[in-house]
Structure 1
Amino acid sequence: MASRLGPWSSRMYDPTRLAALVAVAEAESITRAAERLGYTPPALSQQLSKLERETGTALLVRHHRGARLTPAGELLTARARRVLDELDRARHELARLTGLSGGALRLGTFQTAGIQLLPPVLSAFRRAHPDVELSVADYEPPAGVAAVAAGEVDLALTHTYEPAAPTPLPSSVTAEPVLVEELVLVTSPGHVLAGDASRLPLAGLAGQPLISMAPDHPPRQGVEASLALAGATPSVLVATPGYALVCALVSAGLGVAVVPEMVARTAVTPVGTRLLEPGDLRRTISVVRRTGETAPAADAFRALLRGAFGRAHGGGGGA
């Protein structure tokens, strides 16, 4: 017997793409919407292009100052808001049926993730599970791993860098990658090395005054070694993790630095940026949980993290 759902299956739209369209409509910019959702702009553009292929019509007009909806885009955005609201209500009602009402969720984070990644996910979690008590604590990696193992928090966002010597996790915890981002060069505005679309070979840093990011900080020691091998000359040593400070020093012309792409994109002081070659300096942000533990609130939060970032970053501050 043929499925009665068959004729509709090709016209069902992915809620993730609908949410992307709504975000662009609100921000009037793919770049600003990508920052809000935790996507890279190219990844968000790809999601929107897929939605346009699904609908068979143009939904956005892209221009140098941002993006605006076409009449078809305005129609779909209005319907998408209703669909997303209904899905939020459904998640909440299902959570109540499965016992996810009340209780608490304790989260650990480091500064960049706390500012750039957590707010939209926590907002979605709050809408779906308003009765769960939330608390957030700051842990400079890898301290969040120990906090999860000790039972101080239920989940923690942490990071690792490449290259780096492998650091085994305690057997009591499991890490799930959330996103991977490249490290990029940041310079003062108008610097001779910035503004070029081509990748800069690491050898191009030879003789450049480098603001060294926590040279004694274990997660970045491999990165610091690679920069030293390329011939970058330490100019200022920032002994404790603090990317906001590093970017401020760079902006003032005291040197150049190599920071995660997310940090460069959201720096509060003006900086120039450039991708590096071969692009194997990276940071992986992961969520850590206790191995084998089933906790409905923590599981629901991890699912939201996967939905927000898992498809946006396929491989390619405090700290």
Structure 2
Amino acid sequence: MLDIHQLKVLTEVARTGSYTAAATSLGYTQPAVSYQMRQLQQAVGTPLVVKVGRGLRLTETGRSLVQHADAIFSVLRAVDQEVSSQVARGGGLVRMVAFQSSCVTLVPELVARLRRLHPEVRVTVTQAEPVEARHLVRTGEADLGLLCNWENEDLPEGEATMRRVELMTDRRCVLMPEDDPMAAQETVDLASLASRDWVMESFRDRFLAACTNLGFEPRIVATMDDVSAIQALVAARLGISLVSEMALSAHVAPGLVYRPLRQWPLRRTYALLWPDMASVPAVMTVLEEIRGIAAGLRRPPPG
């Protein structure tokens, strides 16, 4: 019989890459972690980790067991949530994690709807980029995540065993002053912007790679991760920017316009959760409201 505490130690060893780091994370001593791992490997009858340099690597059996352990922990969290919801007469707390654009569009409308239609359901929200958000959902630190990726990307690692609910797509847009020469075009080609100054977000690897493929290095004059700050700097004519259509649907500063970037993949927004969490009434209420909000979010006119 597998021990739930030993499985927890295994998943933490897999996440941190060492017994020492796992012990620190769990609040155990290093010998205690070693003992739990020895007991688990004896119960399974085969090694679960092997040493690689100064670190550890999971064996094939270890990887399989970690996947099953994640699913087991998900079931336990779902049961805990469901019992809590029943005690609260259909209510409950849903811990959400969401990426930046959704925090200024989907999330505020969700909170308003819950207060109006489902006052017994409460949410907490943490902003995080998709990689971190995926980790928080997988480890049970969040019940539901709002994530995004590009339509031409493969399924992100770690999502194969989880439930993914597609919500909407939006475009990448060039934000500029309304009197900019490019504002007369319906869509903008990135190559035509090679000589421009840019106000960009920190996460811009795809943008930089696209510029490199077109043979130029963009002049980035400011790095900002706040949409309002980006708009203020573009309005001040420090440079132009690339901003998601979703973020711009919430607000566009006076004097600015945006045009979709030509031949750029659509961005997909989706909800991510463990399948068992879908049986929790509070989580399903939140998910259904998000789906309704996303379905009603129409693309605003670009001008």
Residue number in structure 1 paired with 2:295:
310
Cα deviation 1:60-87 (Å, max 9, x = unaligned): xxxxxxxxxxxxxxxxxxxxxxxxxxxx
Gaps of 5+ in 1: 1-95, 315-319
Residue number in structure 1 paired with 2:285:
300
CA drift of 1:270 comes to 4.0
CA drift of 1:297 comes to 0.9
Contact 1:208 1:233 (C-alpha < 8 Å) held by counterparts = no
Instruction: Select the residue among 153, 163, 166 that pairs with 1:174.
Output: 163
Tell me how far apart the structure 2 counterparts of residues 162 and 129 of structure 1 sit (CA, whole Å): 33
Moved over 4 A (4+): 162-166, 237-240, 311-314
Structure holding more helix per residue = 2
Contact 1:110 1:158 (C-alpha < 8 Å) held by counterparts = yes
Gaps of 5+ in 2: 1-84
Cα deviation 1:92-132 (Å, max 9, x = unaligned): xxxx99x8623222122233212211122222223332122
Residue number in structure 2 paired with 1:221:
205
Output aligned runs, 1:73-88, within 5 Å: none
Output aligned runs, 1:59-78, within 5 Å: none
Residue number in structure 1 paired with 2:134:
145
Tell me how far apart the structure 2 counterparts of residues 240 and 275 of structure 1 sit (CA, whole Å): 20
Instruction: Select the residue among 259, 262, 265 that pairs with 1:274.
Output: 259
Output aligned runs, 1:95-134, within 5 Å: 101-134=90-123
CA drift of 1:313 comes to 5.8
Residue number in structure 2 paired with 1:207:
195
Cα deviation 1:144-166 (Å, max 9, x = unaligned): 11111111121121222356575
Residue number in structure 1 paired with 2:233:
249
Contact 1:186 1:264 (C-alpha < 8 Å) held by counterparts = no
Does residue 190 of structure 1 match 2:175? no
3-state SS, counterpart of residue 286 of structure 1: strand
Contact 1:264 1:271 (C-alpha < 8 Å) held by counterparts = no
Cα deviation 1:166-207 (Å, max 9, x = unaligned): 53234453322211101111113311111x253223322232
Amino acid at match of 1:224: L
Tell me how far apart the structure 1 counterparts of residues 255 and 198 of structure 2 sit (CA, whole Å): 17
Amino acid at match of 2:189: P
- Taking a change above 3 Å as real, the CA distance of residues 304 and 161 of structure 1, as seen in their structure-2 partners, is same
Percent identity of the aligned residues? 22
Q: Rg larger in 1 or in 2?
A: 2
Amino acid at match of 2:186: S
Contact 2:172 2:266 (C-alpha < 8 Å) held by counterparts = yes
Amino acid at match of 1:296: P
3-state SS, counterpart of residue 120 of structure 2: coil
Tell me how far apart the structure 2 counterparts of residues 259 and 301 of structure 1 sit (CA, whole Å): 27
Q: Pairwise CA RMSD of aligned residues?
A: 3.1
CA drift of 1:268 comes to 4.0
TM-score (structure 1 length as normaliser):
0.57
3-state SS, counterpart of residue 169 of structure 1: coil
Amino acid at match of 1:185: V
Contact 1:180 1:283 (C-alpha < 8 Å) held by counterparts = yes
Amino acid at match of 1:191: D
3-state SS, counterpart of residue 254 of structure 1: coil
Does residue 289 of structure 1 match 2:277? no
Equivalenced residue count is 213
Tell me how far apart the structure 2 counterparts of residues 250 and 207 of structure 1 sit (CA, whole Å): 16
Does residue 263 of structure 1 match 2:251? no
Tell me how far apart the structure 2 counterparts of residues 182 and 305 of structure 1 sit (CA, whole Å): 19
CA drift of 1:292 comes to 3.4
Tell me how far apart the structure 2 counterparts of residues 231 and 191 of structure 1 sit (CA, whole Å): 23
Amino acid at match of 1:299: M
Q: Comparing 240-249 with 131-140, which one deviates more in the overlay? A: 240-249
- Taking a change above 3 Å as real, the CA distance of residues 106 and 188 of structure 1, as seen in their structure-2 partners, is same
3-state SS, counterpart of residue 158 of structure 1: strand
